[in-house]
Amino acid sequence: MGLVGMYLRSKMEDTPVFQAAAALHDAGPPAPRLGAMMRRYWRPMLVVGGLVVALNVVNYTLLSYMPTYLRRRIGLSADEALIVPIIGMLMMMLFLPLAGALSDRLGRRAMWRVSLIGLLAAAVPLYWLMGTGLAGAITGFMLLGLLYVPQLATISATFPALFPTQVRFAGFAIAYNVSTSIFGGTAPAVGSGLISLTGNELMPAFYMMLACGVGLVALRFMPETAGRSLHDDPFAKEPA
């Protein structure tokens, strides 16, 4: 798959915005160094970092840790624990393009708001439902996945557009990967550790709720980027 991705990327042209910026590179100011970039663009970096807390805690908890959780904590067989996320992710694949198209009409903020509030409200009940057996696990996973789809469908359109062209990739990549490494990759271990500490099998749901709360705070400061020119710096026009 990586080779396929490399081939497809090699055949794609850069965006007109980037091509225009590259043409002016020699005449214009150089891109800022890391320290200067973080001082100047700390607001979009914090917003992306906060949203990624929610994005990847849900991602790693729901899509990576779930088979282990269902097998060890809920008591499903190994085959059943694999069937649940497979069915759920197939359903998510069907809704991803629909959510992406809807975000162009309603905006990125609206899609994220629905997802974060929905997960915040439904995580515990749906985790409880998953503990009732195979049918409950499939239903609960599918509903959690459906609530998560608006985030997944809008990542590529939302995060890069928060940065101006000259730091778009660097700013997005640093904020995304730092937040992912701290909160995403550790989510399964945190969920399992909280269960061991408290004896409560619903603790991954509470951790998911906490992450979505962080995401809602970050969303409060995110400007809408749908329909906005990529030539603009969205934070330059936002109130301090």
Dist CA 2 CA 8 (whole Å): 10
Statement: residue 33 has pLDDT above 60? yes
Task: Return the residue matching tokens 């997802």.
Answer: 115
- Locate tokens 């609206």: which residue? 110
Q: What is the pLDDT of residue 80?
A: 93
Q: Which position has the token pair 């439902």?
A: 129
The reply to whether 3 falls in a domain is: no
Q: What is the residue range of 65's domain?
A: 54-221
User: Is 173 inside any structural domain?
Assistant: yes
CB 55 within 8 A of CB 116: no
What pTM did the predictor assign? 0.85
Other residues' Cβ atoms within 10 Å of the Cβ of residue 11: 6
Could you give phi then psi for residue 118, rounded to 5 degrees? -60, -45
**Residue 131 DSSP symbol:** T
The Cα–Cα gap between 213 and 73 comes to: 25
- Confidence bin at 169 (pLDDT 50/70/90): confident
- In the chain, the amino acid numbered 47 is V
Asked whether residue 12 is assigned to any structural domain, the reply reads no
CA pair distance 88, 84, nearest whole angstrom? 6
Most confident of 6-20, 85-99, 225-239: 85-99
Residue 142 pLDDT exceeds 50: yes
Q: How far from the centroid of its chain's Cα atoms is residue 141's Cα?
A: 17
Does 104 reside within a domain? yes
The mean pLDDT of the chain is: 88
| Residue 103 forms part of a structural domain | yes
Residue at 175 is within a domain:
yes
Tokens read off for 13: 């042209």
List of E strands, the chain: none
* % of the chain beyond a pLDDT of 90: 66
Torsions phi, psi for 24 (to 5 deg): -95, 0
Half-sphere exposure of residue 175: CA atoms within 13 angstroms, side-chain side: 27
Give the CATH number of the domain where residue 93 resides.
Answer: 1.20.1250.20
pLDDT digits (tens, 9 = 90+) for 48-81: 999 999 999 999 999 899 999 999 888 899 999 9
The pLDDT value recorded for residue 25 is 54
For the chain, what's the residue count? 240
In a domain, 232, yes or no: no
* Exposure class string for 143-177: b at 16+ Cβ within 10 A, else e: bbbbbbbbbbbbbeebbbbbbbbbbbebbbebbbe
Angle at which helices 108-130 and 134-158 pack, to 10 degrees? 160
- Domains contained in the chain, number: 1
Over residues 132-142, mean pLDDT = 95
What integer pLDDT is reported at residue 27 of this predicted model?
Answer: 44
pLDDT, residue 239, reads: 42
pLDDT(240) > 50: no
User: Is 80 within the bounds of a domain?
Assistant: yes
d(CA 231, CA 240): 20
Q: Which helix (H) or strand (E) holds 24?
A: none
Asked if 129 and 141 count as a contact pair (C-beta separation under 8 A), the reply is no
